[in-house]
Amino acid sequence: MNLIYLLSLITIVICIIALYRFSPYRVKKKHSNSLFTEALNAMVRGDRIKAINLLRQVVKQDSDHVRAYLQLGNIIKDDNPLQAIKIHQSLTVRPNLPTDIKVDIHRALANDYFTVGQFNKAKEEAKQILLLEKRNLWALEFLISLAEKNKEWDDAASWTKQMHRITGKKQNDDVAKFDVYKGLDCLKNSQIDEAKSFFNKAIKIAPNFSISYQYLGDVYAETRDLVKALENWENFASLDLENGKEVYTKIETALFDLGRYSEVEKFYRRIIKINPSNFEALLRLANVLEEKGEGVSAMNLIDDAISSDSRDIRAELMKLKLSLSTSTPMELGHQLDKIIEKLS
């Protein structure tokens, strides 16, 4: 009796396994997964039309294939963003989805809404991601970018600080720049004192964020406080050796107006001490020395300038100017040939 019962039980188990293994649902599921893989491969190859057709076959066979719906919405977003929104929105009501899929759905919707210019809805979708995963860097980067686009500087600064707390990388320049943007907005509205306050705040947050000094110098120049304007421009030029040349003329003019033109030479020597290959500073210092009658020293600086940037023709022209009173016609001809060669 026990043997008969045991045999019957084994038979039932075998039948159940066979029914599951060869069931139409299982076969269909396996086929839909194969189609989905094929669709992904088509996307990688750039075969968009084939990918769309395959994904449509997948969701037709398996309406529970959420990732297929996700990819289908993503791939048609550029041509039909409203349809992409409908597809992705329909997935939000599905029950018992794992967190990673929920995150992907909200991410897709954030991109969808951004594409059609519905920025508030895009922001809410990114916030939903942070509710699911508070350390999600993609969502934070998206929110920062969106806040910058909409000139919501306080929000951008807040999201940036949150990202810094997560990554452990405290880059003060990334926060200070938003106070600079606030200051520039104030300048557009002729709010000089407010602009000055924001630029000073940016400097306090990030003392080496050079652009703050440039704009603060410009504000002081507007109010004819040339001493403070000069101080800030010089700070900018010392911190940003590449773009500092933008304020060289302003510095020279301010020193001239203050009756301190003799300090121009000292300024350029400080810059060259920091960066001996600073072409613009070498060229301008050479011009100052030439005006003082120190032709030999000026010529040495011009040679240094040509060594640092042989492509800029201004150094060759300055050298020609300095050589007019000391070189032979043949030597001057050689210099002209070099200039013509650079121009051709």
DSSP state string for 40-73: HHHHHHT-HHHHHHHHHHHHHH-TT-HHHHHHHH
d(CA 263, CA 303): 23
Whether 308 and 275 have beta carbons less than 8 Å apart is answered as no
Q: Which of 103, 63, 69, 64 is nearest to 84 (CA)?
A: 69
Q: How confident is the prediction along the chain (344 residues), in pLDDT tens digits per residue?
A: 555 655 555 555 454 444 444 444 444 455 677 777 776 676 778 777 787 777 788 778 888 888 888 888 888 888 899 999 999 999 999 999 999 999 999 999 999 999 999 999 999 999 999 999 999 999 999 999 999 999 999 999 999 999 999 999 888 999 999 999 999 999 999 999 999 999 999 999 999 999 999 999 999 999 999 999 999 999 999 999 889 999 999 999 999 999 998 899 999 999 999 988 888 888 888 888 888 888 788 788 777 777 766 666 676 676 666 666 565 566 555 655 565 566 56
- CATH architecture, domain 171-261: Alpha Horseshoe (1.25)
Return the structure tokens found at 109.
Answer: 């919707």
Q: How many Cα atoms occupy the beta-carbon half-sphere of 7 within 13 Å?
A: 4
Share in percent of the chain as helix, strand, coil (round to 5): 80, 0, 20
Q: Please state which CATH class domain 282-344 belongs to.
A: mainly alpha
Q: Please name the helix (run of DSSP H) or strand (run of DSSP E) that holds residue 219, with its range, or none.
A: helix 210-222
Residue 276's identity, in one-letter code, is P
Question: What pTM does this model have?
Answer: 0.76
Whether 160 and 175 have beta carbons less than 8 Å apart is answered as yes
Q: Give the SS3 label for residue 260.
A: coil
Q: Please name the helix (run of DSSP H) or strand (run of DSSP E) that holds residue 329, with its range, or none.
A: helix 329-343
Whether 49 and 20 have beta carbons less than 8 Å apart is answered as no
Kindly report, residue by residue over 133-183, the tens digit of the pLDDT: 999 999 999 999 999 999 999 999 999 999 999 999 888 999 999 999 999
Whether 216 and 236 have beta carbons less than 8 Å apart is answered as no
d(CA 118, CA 150): 12
Return the structure tokens found at 50.
Answer: 């084939």
**Total Cβ atoms within 10 A of residue 212:** 29
CATH 1.25.40.10 positions along the chain are 171-261, 282-344
